[in-house]
A and B are shown apart, each in its own frame.
Chain A
């Protein structure tokens, strides 16, 4: 083990909660969490189903190491079909609810159908039941969290919920757990709301005691924690500055997308950087950052706990934003800051709070606002549509207003909730959508970091930095330095990162460990804890299998190789920033080689040979 061996099947249509044994054969091939849940989704759903119909399923899955003392082992993933992309959605979150679910004795929850009225799923160890939630519908994540805690009476209950944005149909709504951690991307929260499932409440006290070799596991986990502590990124950079350690770094190399990716450097980058979060402000002498906070079991602790300046215009007469809450991560600060041209740290922090409060993916939200601002810039959107608001790049007022509108799905907020692709189509300028497969880009401009262009284009969930983070190699030199301006060798690099990451995401560990760890550091922990022999090779093979299964799902859902593409802007409009001046992303120099390395056809289809090699289903 340490799979609990139990799956909770929740039929929302019938209101039933049934225990099933975990498919151990699949666990041996797909590990857990991301991989194993994908295997279940593939088995049980039609990839062509409407993502927001009862036919789609929503799977919450832990990894075999989730809940153990391995550093960062508190992760869970949500797997479903994405309403934003039509491709597979696979969103990973930390916080505490993943480990709590494991402690309650469950590897996985499969939610199917649709409840006739709002419900929550309340799990206390082996007891699971759906309970009415009419009173919670129409409330924010934070309000829902408070009300459920009041109802169940146990302050140690962990909660994951969707906010009002999801109820209103925003296509990039997140599932927020523990108030400010989120399964953020691809609209997994929108799917949850479409099933009338408002929240999960989980309390687990059974513990995890079924390790294969507990003493060897503890020795290995302790040794690997030391590796994280002694590494400059995981031991110093991330605890001190969070992922925001990257804002100035990426800006300096001319790869910080700015104003809807019109530019690749942002003059105001420092003002919204991790360093700026440490600077005392004039009003009360406090810094934006109060402290760093960890997810379950994490010895890195990159999480930011922040406040907004009490005198800032965004939070006047709004008590819920005046205390500490989850602060800015790099991607969020970039999307809602640099990409919208806003360099007001407090405004961006406030908007981050709103994203947590009502469950929006801050990357997609910020990038969609950026697209709207460019539409406004060229006159395709005017104050007529915005009810008078001037949607100008750099306007903190406009940014805050947009967040408030999307949070409750009102007025122009409905348009913004469509995401960048549908918004720009609606207003006649699809070329202004900075997306792949309909999902908005994160914070690394592929004109300045070539490998990321390929990683975005081929990511199974649309533009995403977490499927294959070649930034580690191309910018930070981890595990070895490659030239970010060069395309040669990037196909192999991207594939290696993608396969390894799929394995990491399936074990229950956090991908941020990979600044210090490779699979060499993880395999011994996995092997000591879990049934079977877990070598690096086996993990890599499983990672590649998972990648191909996701790809196969997407192809069956109707995507093709033509969807492995980037917006024209990144392929044709050269970077103007000095360090990357004149560069575009040369995707065409990498993609054919990538297909070849994958063993796919020249147009990106998974071949029968690959299918057989990895025993992919049907």
Chain B
């Protein structure tokens, strides 16, 4: 079963445990500025929204890379950057429509979410299940259930 990160902003409290887990896993430091997942605060609306790479099948980053440094991991479905091959040209950061591939000035390579090889640290660290790692073909199940509940209520009140 292929799994993917499922993000439910309604459950996010903006605590940044995901950013710390990500940077610790990948950089060996608690350093939100180096996290591959970012939580955005929309202050006036009172919303916190985690955001990271969704691992497109026909990934723009992969297609744009001139040296084929980005390849799919067929086990996890993640698009992974091979640091040995990456030349730091940053074309993938331009190609990605979502901004989730970024350049790391310290290493001279690009970094993106690689699902931690199949055990994403952000999902493990999230205290509210705003980030979960679920069956890739059923990411909409919770939303469907929620709307199904509302539909039923509407029926009941008319």
Would you call A205 an interface residue if the criterion is a C-beta within 8 Å of the partner chain's C-beta atoms? yes
- Are B14 and A294 in contact, with the CB atoms below 8 A? yes
- CB <8 Å contact, B33 and A207: yes
Q: How many residues of A contact B (CB 8 A)?
A: 39
Known contacts A218-B24, A323-B45, A324-B45; is-contact A294 B15 (Cβ 8 Å): yes
Contact with A296, one of B15, B127, B128 (Cβ below 8 angstroms):
B15
Write 16 A-B pairs (CB below 8 A) sorted by A numbering: A67-B30, A68-B20, A69-B24, A99-B32, A103-B31, A103-B32, A205-B31, A205-B34, A208-B30, A290-B45, A292-B13, A296-B16, A297-B15, A298-B15, A323-B44, A324-B45
Q: Report which residue of A225, A239, A296 has the largest number of chain B beta carbons within 10 angstroms of its beta carbon.
A: A296
Most buried by B among A205, A294, A295, A301: A294
- A209 and B20 CA atoms in complex are apart in Å by 11
Say yes or no: A69 contacts B20, CB within 8 Å: yes
Whether A205 contacts B33 by the Cβ 8 Å rule is yes
Extra A-B contacts (13), CB below 8 Å, given A67-B30, A298-B13, A299-B15: A99-B32, A205-B33, A209-B31, A291-B46, A293-B14, A293-B48, A299-B17, A299-B127, A301-B13, A301-B127, A324-B44, A324-B45, A324-B46
Task: List 6 tightest A-B contacts by C-beta distance, closest first.
Answer: A207-B31, A323-B44, A324-B46, A207-B29, A294-B15, A290-B46
By a CB distance below 8 angstroms, the chain A residues around B33 are: 103, 156, 204-205, 207
Asked whether A229 is an interface residue with its Cβ less than 8 Å from the other chain, the reply is yes
Beta-carbon nearest neighbor of A323 in chain B: B44
Query: Of B20, B21, B32, B43, which is within 8 A of A325 by CB?
Result: B43
CB pair A207 B23 closer than 8 Å: yes
What's the minimum C-beta distance from B95 to chain A, rounded to whole angstroms? 24
Interface string of B18-39 (1 = CB under 8 A from A): 0011011001111111100000
Interface centre among B23, B28, B46, B125 (most CB of A within 10 A): B46
Total number of B residues with any Cβ neighbor in A under 8 Å: 27
Q: Are B31 and A208 interface neighbours, CB within 8 A? A: yes
CA distance A239 to B46 in the complex (A): 15
Bound state CA distance, A222 and B45, in angstroms? Answer: 31
CB pair A297 B47 closer than 8 Å: no
CA distance A85 to B44 in the complex (A): 36
**Which residues of A300-337 have CB atoms within 8 Å of chain B's CB atoms?**
301, 303, 305-307, 323-325
Instruction: Write out the residue numbers on chain B whose beta carbons fall within 8 Å of the beta carbon of A225.
Output: 127
Tell me the residues in window 376-398 of chain A with beta carbons closer than 8 Å to chain B beta carbons: none
Q: Which of B13, B16, B23, B43 has the most chain A CB within a 10 Å cutoff?
A: B13
B30 touches A207 (CB 8 A): yes
Q: Which residues of B contact A24 (CB under 8 A)?
A: none
Report the minimal beta-carbon distance from B135 to chain A, rounded to whole angstroms.
24
> A179 near B: Cβ within 8 Å?
yes
- Residues of chain B within 8 A of A204, CB atoms compared: 33
Q: Is A280 an interface residue (CB 8 A)?
A: no
Q: Which of A397-441 contact B (CB under 8 A)?
A: none
Q: Could you tell me which residues of chain A, from 211 to 240, have a CB within 8 Å of some CB in chain B?
A: 214, 218, 222, 225, 229, 239
Write the nearest CB–CB distance from A219 to chain B, whole angstroms: 12
Cβ < 8 Å to B, chain A residues 540-555 = none
Whole-angstrom CA separation of A306 from B13 in the bound complex: 14
CB distance from B22 to the nearest CB of A (A): 11
Q: Which residues of A contact B27 (CB under 8 A)?
A: 207, 209
A206 within 8 A of B: yes
Bound state CA distance, A290 and B41, in angstroms? 14
Shortest distance in angstroms between A240's beta carbon and chain B's nearest beta carbon?
A: 12
- Measured CB to CB, the closest approach of chain B to A67, in angstroms, equals 6
- Once A291-B46, A324-B45 are accepted as A-B contacts, the answer to whether A297 and B20 lie under 8 Å apart by CB is yes
Partner of B28, one of A209, A294, A306: A209
Which residue, B14, B31, B48, has most C-beta atoms of chain A within 10 A?
B14
Task: Write out the residue numbers on chain A whose beta carbons fall within 8 Å of the beta carbon of B125.
Answer: 69, 222
Q: What residues of chain B lie closer than 8 Å to A324, measured between beta carbons?
A: 43-46
A293 touches B16 (CB 8 A): no
Q: Which chain A residues lie closer than 8 Å to B46 at the CB level?
A: 290-291, 293, 305-307, 323-324
**CA of A301 to CA of B12, assembled, Å:** 10
- Once the chains bind, are A297 and B16 in contact (CB under 8 Å)? yes
Bound together, the chains give a CA A206 to CA B28 distance in angstroms of 12
Q: Whole-angstrom distance between the alpha carbons of A327 and B107 in the complex?
A: 42
Q: Kindly state the separation between the CA atoms of A207 and B45 in the bound complex, as whole angstroms.
A: 30
| Alpha-carbon distance between A299 and B48 when the two chains are bound, in angstroms | 14
